[in-house]
Structure 1
Amino acid sequence: MNNTIKQTILNKEEEMIAFRRDLHMHPELQWQEFRTTDQVAKELDKLGIPYRRTNPTGLIADLEGGKPGKTVALRADMDALPVQELNQDLSYKSTEDGKMHACGHDSHMSMLLTAAKALVEVKDELAGTVRFIFQPSEENAEGAKEMVAQGAMEGVDHVFGIHIWSQTPSGKISCVVGSSFASADIIEIDFKGQGGHGAMPHDTIDAAIIASSFVMNLQAIVSRETNPLDPVVVTIGKMEVGTRFNVIAENAHLEGTLRCFNNTTRAKVAKSIEQYAKKTAAIYGGTAEMVYKQGTQPVINDEKSALLVQKTITESFGEDALYFEPPTTGGEDFSYFQDEASGSFALVGSGNPAKDTEWAHHHGRFNIDESAMKNGAELYAQFAYNYLNQDEF
């Protein structure tokens, strides 16, 4: 543990919270983070850390240490959600109707900037370079891929990310070896039958029956075609069927999602979903077409990286701070950075019933225990310091 880093972050805690609250009041959706980018840029200017803006939003900044060495990237996402804030008693509640930082990205940026402030204080001790990636558009799984395309990972040896996490108790931090987040793909299926009058069903092919049968049978893929020790989630979240009470539907449109931790399983299940759709439609004399859109890759934490994170947690915050949050089938496009370099992803606990911060991410009542932010900022900085100044990997 570097004491200068710890003390700097403690000294900057009020600034960090104030910056997060400003961002919270002015949320911007994916690819619209223009003010947010400007605010981050102003802070980097104050620190004298050179950066370049990415198109259309986002920044990449490099802090060169006093000694040659590797490059470690630290990532924070920037975008808010199209969610109406329901926290009416907050002095810093969203000022944008229908928009809210309901996933904690405002805190991620604030923690990473505070980590940068601490690392500037010890830059002469750093054996290498710290790259700060402020990434837009995480919520639609497009931003990380685009940042990689714009050179965010060029020359990077290792990457580390953090997410504030309301399901983990405040004061606890988790970084598990192996599976952390699942892949998150989108399924769209269109069934076509033959419409007609509700009084003459024998002259029709009912798309509502086809779609309903498909949904009812779909879970057999999970329960009978996949290993029960290999988690898979298939959800149909949207169905649009029919036009009128006495008209038998000719068309049905379904949308859903597939979540896996294993890419081989992912491909197998996707193929099975399409087969189930086409064969179910054929039973009733209809047809089916599926569009499958790959979203995020699974986030799989590198073993050496996760163990170094765990060591950093215990050294900086004590053994009691180390927590092991089970993998989630939520998606995280941090995985695209891991396609370019080894790395890991940590969850900083923010759940505190006394402060009403246990609401689920993406809920209108979501908020964070701001006292946890100093832990996230320090973990960013201490991990970068430890990675650059060790020879284990």
Structure 2
Amino acid sequence: MAAHKESTMLEQLRRWRRDFHQYPEPGWCEYRTTSLIAAELSACGYQILLGDQVLSAAAVMGRQIDEPKEKARAAAQGAPQAWLEASSLTGLMAVLDTGRPGPCVALRVDLDAVKVQESQGAQHQPDQQGFASVNAQCMHACGHDGHAAMGLVLGQLLAQQHERLCGKIKLFFQPAEEGCRGGKAMAQGGQVDDVDILYAIHLGIHAASGELVVSPTGFLSSTKFDVEFHGTPAHAGLEPNAGANALAAACQAVSQMLGIPRHRDGLTRLNIGTLNAGAERNVIPSFALLEGETRGASAELNDYMFSRVQQIVDGCARSYGVDFRIRKQGEAISIENSPRLVHSVTLSADRLGFHVIHSRPFGASDDAGYMLERVQKRGGEAAYLVIGADLAAGHHHHGFDFDETAMVKGVSLLEALFVAALQPPAEITG
């Protein structure tokens, strides 16, 4: 019976994961994914609140999209029209209230893909089996397709059992995790404020299939930023002295940023991912845009890095006589799991045959931290779990793929955790 359930679950998970993989959507553009999940969970009896009802619009970061164009693309790729048109912001929360007193238990998963062109190599399974990305320069290179599939299938499994459960189930499908742009907005939307237990998950991340990291460490605080330099154009041959070179200011700033001393008190990181400037080879560039990020092992260390970035940009702009604008495009904070929840997860994972690893460095950032922190500050418990999965290539690599059977173990664990927390109190008999 257990083997049949696992086989059925793998079939469902694989179907959804491969569907999401074939039609990846970058942050704030997840209209198709959102609409499909909303339609499926609504049919299971969940109340659906779409992005506009779940996210704080004032806290949305890094959203520069052509909404009509993205919705048209999503419609052409099979998004249910009614759900597609019901919201401007992507993402959703699905709620199932049993009507019986009990805790509110929640899961947060992410939806968005990465701006990477997917491999067409002979060894790349998605391409060889016909579910590689059809959207140019966009692919699920971080496992969010698996996360979304796991959240959806978990929701279906819990709905089938709701009559014997108490309390409330909340499933959060967060947009724009890449670049850390959507987590704060979802936290500040207030829908986590009644949550007693919140889980967030990630596949892979230094963990092999069969492993479970119950208390990952080393989550980096991060600031994602854009810097615009505005100069003055001029003829590069006739009167270069009349121009103010925005490209030169940006290049100098990049060079100096990369030379920021790393901090003695802990890990710090800086990366400049893009630099775009100029229009003609014989025109002094009047505009430059660079996109970068800082990270630190703590908020203080990240603040140190970003404050130095701001000082450098100001100085370089003054030196070249140009104006500048810095915009924060995303943020993340560190994460610490609730100890009591770590204990209960460990017990359940042991029973399911996981190789439990108590602690292992995560080494990256995830804006789920804002949601976990908000639950914890209101007296609830929260935990971020790394579900091991063998990888074909590293995260954000064009050949990324993962062991799909890892999703089955992950959903089985989450189902066990939800059911255990939502069991009605034992009746007292005389």
Q: 1:205 and 1:60 mapped to 2: Cα distance? A: 49
- Determine the C-alpha separation between the residues in 2 that align with 1:36 and 1:52: 14
Residue type at the aligned position of 2:18: R
Q: Verify: 1:370 aligned to 2:409, yes or no.
A: no
Distance 2:280 2:93 in 1: 53
Q: Are residues 1:295 and 2:330 paired?
A: yes
Alpha-carbon distance in 2 for matches of 1:237, 1:332:
18
Equivalent position of 2:21 in the other structure: 24
- Cα distance per residue 1:199-242 (max 9 Å; x no partner): 9999988766654444333345333xx2x342211122333456
**C-alpha contact 1:112 1:380 (8 A) present in aligned 2:** no
2:119 is the counterpart of 1:80: no
> Which segment drifts farther, 163-172 or 30-39?
30-39
In the other structure, the counterpart of 1:59 is 92
Over 3 Å counting, the alpha-carbon distance change for 1:218 and 1:378 in structure 2 is same
Cα deviation for residue 72 of structure 1 reads 1.7
Instruction: Tell me how far apart the structure 2 counterparts of residues 207 and 60 of structure 1 sit (CA, whole Å).
Output: 44
- Using the TM superposition, give the Cα deviation of residue 105 of structure 1 relative to its aligned residue in structure 2, in angstroms: 1.9
Change in 2 beyond 3 A, CA 1:183/1:309: farther
Letter in 1 for 2:400: F
Cα 1:200–1:37 change in 2 (3 A) is closer
Structure 1 residue 39 corresponds to structure 2 residue 36: yes
Q: Distance in 2 between matches of 1:341 and 1:46?
A: 28
Q: Structure 1 residues 308, 231: closer, same or farther in 2, change over 3 A?
A: farther
* Residue 152, structure 1, aligned to residue 191, structure 2: yes
User: Would the alpha carbon gap of residues 69 and 193 (structure 1) be closer, same or farther in structure 2, given more than 3 Å must change?
Assistant: same
Indicate the residue corresponding to 1:260 in structure 2: 296
Match of residue 314, structure 1, among 340, 347, 350: 350
Question: Structure 1, residues 303-325: CA drift from partner, whole Å, max 9, x if none?
Answer: 3234443343233224x243644
Letter of the 1:109 counterpart: A
Alignment partners' CA distance in 2, 1:53 and 1:208: 41
User: The residue matched to 1:108 in structure 2 has which SS?
Assistant: helix
Q: Of the candidates 267, 272, 276, which is equivalent to residue 312 of structure 2?
A: 276
User: In proportion to residue count, which structure has more strand?
Assistant: 1
1:236 to 268, 272, 275: 272
Q: CA deviation at 1:327?
A: 2.3
- Using structure 2 for the length normalisation, give the TM-score: 0.73
For residues 347-386 of structure 1, give each alpha carbon's deviation from its aligned partner in whole angstroms, at most 9, with x where no partner exists: 22222xxxxx332223332222111111221232223334
TM-superposed deviation, 1:153: 1.8
> Does the residue aligned with 1:137 lie in a helix, a strand or coil?
coil
Pairing 1:15–2:49 present: no
CA deviations on 1:50-106 (whole Å, 9 max, x unpaired) are 333343243322233575222121112223344333243123223344443232222
Q: Cα 1:9–1:49, aligned 2, differ >3 Å: closer, same or farther?
A: farther
Following superposition, the deviation at residue 196 of structure 1 comes to 7.3
Contact preservation (8 Å) 2:27, 2:177: yes
SS in 2 for 1:256: strand
**CA deviation string 1:102-147 (max 9, x = no partner):** 3222211221222233334544554522211123333354433444
Equivalent position SS for 1:88: helix
C-alpha separation between the residues in 2 aligned to 1:370 and 1:219?
Answer: 38
Q: Distance in 2 between matches of 1:285 and 1:58?
A: 43
Structure 2 counterpart of 1:130 = 169
Question: Which letter does structure 1 place at the counterpart of 2:361?
Answer: P
The answer to whether structure 1 residue 50 and structure 2 residue 83 are counterparts is no
Distance in 2 separating the partners of 1:180 and 1:271? 20
Q: In 2, distance between residues paired with 1:346 and 1:39?
A: 25
User: What residue identity is the alignment partner of 1:340?
Assistant: R
Any gaps of 5 or more consecutive residues in structure 2? Answer: 53-86, 120-125, 377-381, 426-430
**Aligned position for 1:103:** 142
Q: Does the 8 A contact of 1:27 with 1:79 survive in 2?
A: yes
Identity of aligned residues (%): 28
* One-letter code aligned to 1:372: A
How do 1:218-237 residues align onto structure 2 when only pairs under 5 Å count?
218-223=257-262, 226=263, 228-237=264-273
- 1:180, 1:327 within 8 Å by CA — same for their partners in 2? yes
Partner of 2:385: 346
State the distance in 1 between where 2:201 and 2:92 align.
17
Counterpart residue identity of residue 384, structure 2: F
- Give the AA of the match of 1:50: Q
Over 3 Å counting, the alpha-carbon distance change for 1:234 and 1:46 in structure 2 is same
* CA 288–268 in structure 1, closer or farther in 2 if over 3 Å, else same: farther
Q: Distance in 2 between matches of 1:213 and 1:97?
A: 33
Partner of 2:69: none
Question: What is the aligned partner in structure 1 of residue 157 from structure 2?
Answer: 118
For the residue of structure 1 that corresponds to 2:335, the secondary structure is: strand
What residue number does 2:73 align with? none
The residue type paired with residue 345 of structure 1 is Y
Letter in 2 for 1:326: P
Moved more, 33-42 or 154-163: 33-42
Which amino acid in the other structure matches residue 306 of structure 2?
Answer: A
The DSSP-based 3-state class of the residue aligned with 1:153 is coil
2:89 matched to 1:92?
Answer: no
